[in-house]
Amino acid sequence: MIIRSKAPLRLGLAGGGTDVSPYSDIYGGAILNATINMYSYATIEPTNDNRIVFEYPDRYIVETYDSRAEIPPEGEFILHKGVYNRIIKDFGLKPLSFRLTTFVDAPAGSGVGTSSTLVVSIIGAFAEWLNLPLGEYDIAQLAYDIERNDLMMAGGKQDQYAATFGGFNFMEFIGDKVIVNPLRVRNRYKDELAHNLVLYYTETSRFSSNIIEAQAQNVTDNKEESINAMHQLKGQAIKMKEALLRGDIDAVGPILDRSWAFKKQMTDKISNDFLDNIYRVALEAGATGGKVSGAGGGGFMFFYCPDVNRYRVVDALEKLGGHARRYEFTDEGLKTWTN
């Protein structure tokens, strides 16, 4: 028997950062995101040798343990161990014996939700194998609890819900409550957006926790510029929702441009000279707006390129050393199955 799962990565189109505590706890946050056909995959192979094996096949990394109820969350497979420990604890299970193999279509730290999506896919595989009574909100919340509370990893709340639910979603964050509002965006609008929105990998990565911690500290310190920037970002998420539902796709560029300006005001760690130069080159080649994906500092950026400008923008950006990545939007979230 083999158990598999996959969960989609996401693009945070607007409102990113307003899902991070303490801002979301005090003021409430709003984000619009959409999942794409890049995935995190998990495969569980049950065994009877009283061993637990974690494997990254693309990196040739394997860790093996004697079967036990808890594995210290350290080393290369912190997320895997965090999920396993909570599954055993929450459902009162005896130690399991299995091999868990995982793979993600994007590098860690690239800004498309890789870590949280990996956690969701692992939870999904365990839920499929053990027939656990977990709905979509349950899986997303458990993934959040594991990352933010058990493993003390700084971050927001959107990624776990995007990976679990899939599609275009307008998400609201009110204290501990998360409300996922699926958007009925017409297919032709999605196709136009995917055509015009260039996804560009800068060939860099970053530790998002450092940026998120600085952003959270600015809220704790009641820094007016940072907090006002987050208020404005929340407003841009509402404008993005209205543009997509109306089919005013060319409005996406200016919304992204304003969002990027506000996002950089949250903390000085979000951008740098390297990213600012990429942004300038994209606009000079015909983009009308864009932003870094995720917390900032590196990884993927995306740019809205109306008409046929995408080809000029891609050509200009690839001369800087990164590369454009083709993708499509996907409506499906976490999927699990058994062979």
- Per-residue pLDDT reduced to its tens digit, 54-89: 999 988 999 999 999 999 999 899 999 999 999 999
Determine the 3-state secondary structure of 245 from DSSP. Answer: helix
Residue 204: pLDDT over 90: no
Provide the CB-side half-sphere exposure for 61 (13 A, CA). 8
Least confident of 55-64, 113-122, 202-211, 238-247: 202-211
pTM: predicted TM-score of the whole model, two decimal places? 0.95
- The DSSP output letter for 329 is B
pLDDT, average across residues 107-129: 95
pLDDT recorded at residue 294: 83
Determine the 3-state secondary structure of 12 from DSSP. Answer: strand
Tens digit of each residue's pLDDT (9 = 90 or more) over 277-318 = 999 999 999 999 999 998 777 899 999 999 999 999 999 999
150 band by pLDDT with thresholds 50, 70 and 90: very high
pLDDT, average across residues 36-47: 98
Tens digit of each residue's pLDDT (9 = 90 or more) over 220-256 = 888 999 999 999 999 999 999 999 999 999 999 999 9
- Among residues 339, 330, 273, which one has the least CA distance to residue 7? 330
Please confirm whether the linkage preceding 22 is cis (ω < 30° from 0). Answer: yes
262 band by pLDDT with thresholds 50, 70 and 90: very high
Burial 88-101 (b: 16+ CB within 10 A, else e): beeeeeeebebbbb
Angle separating helix axes 224-246 and 208-220, nearest 10 degrees = 120
Write down the catalytic residue from 19, 138, 150, 159. Answer: 159
Give me 101's structure tokens. 């193999």
Residue 207: pLDDT over 70: no
Tens digit of each residue's pLDDT (9 = 90 or more) over 89-106 = 999 999 999 999 999 999
Question: Is position 159 annotated as part of the catalytic site?
Answer: yes
Q: Name the maximum alpha-carbon separation found in the chain.
A: 60
Mean pLDDT of the chain: 95
296 vs 202, more confident: 202
> How many Cβ atoms sit within 10 Å of the Cβ of residue 68?
13
What domains sit in the chain, N to C, each tagged with a CATH number?
3-184 (3.30.230.10), 187-324 (3.30.70.890)
pLDDT recorded at residue 267: 85
Is the sign of the CA dihedral 160, 164, 170, 176 positive or negative? Answer: negative
28 vs 175, more confident: 28
Asked if 300 and 316 touch (Cβ cutoff 8 Å), the reply is: no
**CA gap 49, 147 in Å, rounded:** 29
Residue 12: pLDDT over 90: yes
Q: Which residue has the tokens 């959040």?
A: 144
135 band by pLDDT with thresholds 50, 70 and 90: very high
pLDDT recorded at residue 270: 87
pLDDT recorded at residue 34: 98
Asked if 4 and 333 touch (Cβ cutoff 8 Å), the reply is: no
Length of the chain: 339
**CA gap 38, 10 in Å, rounded:** 8
210 band by pLDDT with thresholds 50, 70 and 90: confident
Least confident of 118-127, 144-153, 260-269: 260-269
Pairing of strands 51-56, 98-104: parallel
Which residue intervals of the chain are DSSP H helices? 23-26, 78-90, 114-130, 136-144, 158-165, 187-196, 208-220, 224-246, 252-263, 273-285, 309-318
pLDDT recorded at residue 206: 64
**CA gap 84, 148 in Å, rounded:** 16
CA geometry: angle 152, 50, 86, nearest 5 deg: 25
Provide the CB-side half-sphere exposure for 168 (13 A, CA). 21
